[in-house]
Amino acid sequence: MSDIPAFPYALLWEERQLVSVANLTRQDGLDFLGLAPRIGIRTRTTAYPLRDANRALADLRAGRFDGAAVLVP
């Protein structure tokens, strides 16, 4: 009998987690938001009702939009 191949545990249960990186100050954020439009940064978002979170995830996986998905409660 052959060994069972190894794979990441998260794939087994489709577990997901939300992660935030907070390594800047409030003033850093304000400075960046003031600078962003002047240097050409444009954001692209696609809004989904919260009840369509699974569709948003499927669209993200399939590459159906550019930018970020936003869930609206």
Q: pTM of the predicted model, to two decimals?
A: 0.52
Name the 3-class secondary structure at 45.
strand
CA distance 19 to 10: 15
Cα three-residue angle 55-57-58, rounded to 5 degrees: 65
Residue 66 carries which DSSP code?
S
Express each pLDDT in 16-64 by its tens digit: 676 777 788 889 989 999 999 999 988 899 999 999 999 999 999 999 9
Whether 2 has a pLDDT exceeding 70, the answer reads: yes
Place of tokens 């970020």: 68
Pairwise CA distance, residues 7 & 34, whole Å? 44
Confidence (pLDDT) at 24: 84
